[in-house]
Amino acid sequence: MRNEFIVFAIVSVVGTALLGYYINPLWFWAFLIIGPIVIMGLYDMVQDKHAIMRNFPILGRGRYVMEELRPKLYQYFIESDTNGRPINRVHRSVVYQRAKDTRDTTPFGTQLEVYDEGYEWMNHSIAALDAHELSEHPRTRVGAPACKHPYDASLFNVSAMSFGSLSSAAIEALNGGAKLGDFAHNTGEGGVSPYHESFQGDLIWQIGTGYFGCRAADGNFDPDKFAERSQTPNIKMIELKLSQGAKPGHGGILPAKKNTAEIAKIRGVQQGTAVLSPPFHKAFNTPLGLLELIQQMRELSGGKPIGFKLCIGQPSEFIGICKAMVQTGIYPDFISVDGGEGGTGAAPPEFSDSVGMPFKEGLAFAYDTLVGFDLKQHIKLFASGKVFTGFHIVRALALGADATYSARAMMLALGCIQALECNKNSCPTGVATQDPELVAGLVVSDKKQRVFNYHRKTIESLMELLAAAGLHTPEEVKRHHIFRRTSLNEVRRYSEIFPYLPKGCLLQADTVPENWKMEWDLANAERF
């Protein structure tokens, strides 16, 4: 095609010039079109970055145009309601409808194939209850005996998303929705910004390996800054982030394009640089050190609930943390378990696709480990990983959660269209961008109401499901209430797939179940 383009260029330029000279001068206007085409084609032939463009001048650019358009075309014209990734249209539609407070019922039956492997459901009871007689605002109290200011948390909350990864307007709308609905808004590891405090909604202050908001000049944890910031009235709980499901063991990433002067000031970093939080904490390096930091934070905060978040990785390491709890008598008030399928604004594909224990296995393992060490009565479990509907909350409760988080669902409630441009600073809905022109499109007064609506109606659906199953409270949900099709002709309860551990069986070596012995033996309170 290179030779063909050269012929085209010569013929078009010379031909146009002759037509303009001999026939009509108006033909010279054609150079406004021909000129740029020829120049772009010549550039394509000499540039050395793209082989397709070198070999197919002009035409080769079509590949990159289609590659850019592909996600949009696929979403609107090709994908079915059930096969979209990472969030299918069925779940997106539920969020949109509830956020807009419009009809969220479906006609003509389920679009899911109930005989496909992996299909999950809960069974109802003939002795169903009236949902209106159940609690409208189910809560769970977070706070071990050492906690002076326990917090009654909603069963559904905003998961960790930092100002920086999300826009100022998005953060304000999330906090406004949290205020209206009386649920918690996790700040993400980027620190507490003014936008997190716009409406005084309840906050869970997340502290990652960058220690933003309590960061010393050398990048380490600063106890004095922490003590000062933790006194903020609307900070109800504090979450120490060990890892997250989308990129466990990698550390946080804030692209340079999103690191504005304002964000740099809040985080205490240099403007316009990529902010890479370390994959490990400098404030501790052993399970015992982790618990000592938790105890220090609890004291410095005046007794607010302190917990940590992780995606389960090496099972022995989590078991080692539990051994340290038994050894010291120091317990976190809560543990947030994130699934390996969790979302993020920017992560290497290898980490998103192939690192970290998935949500169900991770949550069940964490619960069983705490029960095995007889620690669960001290600690509440928060769970995150594709929680979009009331059934997803029920499923998490069955696996051992006391409450749940959601990030992507809350983004959808804000108007996110799953454009998959979170890492490009070009989010078309103004949710995941720092571009002022795009951010201006997100109207806080409207979107905070949508976040509130979505939360309210999802909690309503949760309580309706409990009532249908004949259950009075979320605490009554157990693993035997959830079923999973494992093949065409086999169905198993969650209690069979994730069998419970006997209480206290991990306290002594001679009572440890056989399939747990290797990890239990590897676990050590004095090293990860």
Shared domain check, 345 and 277: yes
The tokens of 161 are what? 């998303």
Shared domain check, 355 and 439: yes
CB 420 within 8 A of CB 149: no
Shared domain check, 140 and 66: no
The tokens of 382 are what? 């928060």
Shared domain check, 407 and 273: yes
Residue 108 covered by a domain: no
Alpha-carbon span 184 to 237, nearest angstrom: 9
What's the pLDDT at 251?
67
Neighbours of 132 (CB within 10 A): 10
**Residue 64: left if φ>0, alpha if ψ -120 to 50, beta else—which one?**
alpha
The tokens of 297 are what? 């934070």
Residue 117 covered by a domain: no
The tokens of 174 are what? 């999330």
Shared domain check, 141 and 56: no
Residue 97 covered by a domain: no
Shared domain check, 517 and 413: yes
Shared domain check, 65 and 145: no
What's the pLDDT at 149?
96
pTM score, whole prediction: 0.88
Residue 99 covered by a domain: no
Alpha-carbon span 286 to 145, nearest angstrom: 24
Residue 87 covered by a domain: no
Shared domain check, 166 and 32: no
Domain around 319: 131-522
Structural domain count of the chain: 2
CATH code of 438's domain: 3.20.20.70
Number of H helices, E strands in the chain: 18, 15
Shared domain check, 354 and 280: yes
Residue 83 covered by a domain: no
Domain final residue, candidates 72, 95, 117: 72
What's the pLDDT at 504?
97
Is 367 strand, coil or helix?
helix
Is 186 strand, coil or helix?
strand
Residue 125 covered by a domain: no
Domain final residue, candidates 72, 98, 119: 72
Give, as one character, the DSSP assignment of residue 214.
Answer: S
- Per-10-residue mean pLDDT of the chain, 528 residues long, equals 88 91 90 92 89 88 79 71 79 92 84 92 95 94 88 97 92 97 96 94 96 88 96 97 79 72 80 81 95 97 97 96 97 94 71 84 97 97 94 97 96 91 87 92 96 97 97 97 95 97 97 97 96
Shared domain check, 320 and 416: yes
Neighbours of 508 (CB within 10 A): 8
What's the pLDDT at 252?
65
Shared domain check, 282 and 199: yes
Alpha-carbon span 222 to 227, nearest angstrom: 9
CB 429 within 8 A of CB 414: yes
Give, as one character, the DSSP assignment of residue 160.
Answer: P
Shared domain check, 59 and 157: no
Alpha-carbon span 102 to 452, nearest angstrom: 13
Residue 302 covered by a domain: yes
